[in-house]
Every structure is written in structure tokens, then in C-alpha cells.
Amino acid sequence: MRIGGIDLGGTKIEARLFEGAGAETVKVHRVPTPTDSFDGLMSALIGQVDWLRAESGDPSLPVGVAIPGVIDPATGESFASNIPASGHSIPAALKAHFGEAIPVVNDCMAFAFSEAQGGAGDGHRVVMGLILGTGVGGGVSIDGAIPPRHAGLAVEVGHIGMSYRAIERHGLPMFRCGCGRLGCVENYISGTGFKNIAEWKTGTRHGAEALGTEPALDEVLDIWADIAGDVLDTIQLALDPDCIVIGGGLSNLPGVADRLTTSLEALRLGSARMPLITVAQHGDSSGARGAALMGLKA
């Protein structure tokens, strides 16, 4: 069995051909993401669908597409800051070209779905995917499916306000977010957030990749992990997942799952059972893989 998944990002459109019951990658094809127009974007995306079907030798290969931003469930229209798709419906454009519906899903939801299906969250009923990269993204899979949503939001953890108790505990400033608001979680626990804390604490804007070479960053890491525990506490109180899968660049921090487990244990409400906190099994391929698995179900 072969399936195809496409991860449409702000800089590249990555097509992955998967094979077998475990949906393992066999071939990858990347093209730059056009940023000048919706028509240019769709031309490149259609080309990636064509590549997958030609490469597989199957003109009816199941394909799914993962995209950033909000997809309105009622209209299919997108709202995204880093691709020229806002106000347009990618699902409608794909159907008009191919004469068939091709599933289009938020990339964070695709990540969670992938990790719930033969990934780090396999066997768990409620799997929360928490992507800690340049920003913060979230998705959820419940009983092996992506749940319906009213407005098409994923689990927009990055734009929840950082808890005051976390800010007060460390005397942190209120960082302004790219969305225009103050104190969004994204500005504290993402890769950018790590740099924000490093600059505030040390005067130098080092990222997590400098750990081990800059001793002053050890304290920054401790602060980061501690306040990330507050975010996990919010997730547990709101969603009560039995598994939280960490993805994105910060998932590569040494012992990150153990650190975050310790932070959440110190904050959890009463005797509430802890969720499993673990690192993504399928890494950078999880978005495309989740989209491909959605394509198979369509």
C-alpha cells in the first residue's frame, strides 16, 4: 500500500510518498513555496500531487495536504500569515482541478493524528501534539480521529496568555507577540521564546542550539522548562489528554520529555493522573504522514 502526503509550509512544499502498514517514507520531493499569489501557490501544490501519483505509478493514489493556519470547516477558506491563501479555499481549488476531494488539514492537527496512528501516541485515546519550533502549535487526535471544530482553529496554545504565576515566579517581562498581543505563550516556550528569555537573562540572544557552549544558558533552560510546565498544566486542565507528544526543534533538547514531566508533576491539580509526555516518533515527516493517513481515510 502506498499513500502520499504533502506538508505545505512557508518556505517549501514537501511531498512524501509513504509505503506499508507503518506508512514509512520511501521518497521525498521539495519545491519552494510561491509567495506572490494564490494561483502560483496552487500551481506548485498541484505539481506536488502530480509528482506523487506519477512516482507511485498510481493515478488514483490517496493524497492528503497539511497546511498552516486556520481552515474554516464551513467554507474551506484559509487564514494564514505565511502563505498567500487567506480568503481562498485550497480544498475547493484542488477539487476543481482534480475532480475529486483531496483532504486538507491543519498541519498541527496532522502532526497529532500521525503520532496517534503508529507514532509516539499509538494506543492512547486523547493525543495532544505540541510543536515547539520557531513558534508554538498544537493539535489533538481523539479516538483515532481529528475532532470537529466550530471555527477551524487547531489547539492554538501559542496564543493563550502565559500564566501570571509563571511570569511572577521568575520575574519575567511581558513579551509582545507577532499577533499584536502581550504575553502569548509562544513568546516564552518556543525557540523564539528561549531566545527572549536568554536575552532578558544574559543580555545575549542565544538559542537552544548554544546549550553546552554557553554556561549561562543552563539557567535559561531551567526557566524555560519550568514555565513550560505551566503551559502543560493548562493543556491538562483544558483537554485532559492521556498523551502529549512534543515535536519541533526543541523536541531535540536532551531529556526534554523528562524535564517537562517533572515540571508538570510539580504543578498538576491534586492527584490528577499524569499524561505520558514523549517525543514525536516520526519527527519532521509527521505533518505529511498525518495528511497522507487522512487521504487514505477519505
Q: Tens digit of pLDDT for each residue in 54-77? A: 999 999 999 999 999 999 999 999
Residue 283 contacts residue 247 (beta carbons within 8 Å): yes
In this structure, which topology does domain 2-111+284-297 adopt according to CATH? Nucleotidyltransferase; domain 5 (3.30.420)
Regarding pTM above 0.85, the answer is: yes
Residue 49 contacts residue 102 (beta carbons within 8 Å): yes
Nearest of 245, 234, 235 to residue 129 by alpha carbon: 245
DSSP 190: S
Residue 162 contacts residue 230 (beta carbons within 8 Å): yes
Q: Tens digit of pLDDT for each residue in 37-54? A: 999 999 999 999 999 999
In this structure, which topology does domain 123-280 adopt according to CATH? Nucleotidyltransferase; domain 5 (3.30.420)
pLDDT at 213 over 90: yes
Distance, CA of 32 to CA of 248 (rounded, Å):
20
Q: Tens digit of pLDDT for each residue in 218-271? A: 999 999 999 999 999 999 999 999 999 999 999 999 999 999 999 999 999 999
Q: Within 13 Å, how many C-alpha atoms sit on residue 222's CB side?
A: 8
The boundaries of every CATH 3.30.420.40 domain in the chain are: 2-111+284-297, 123-280
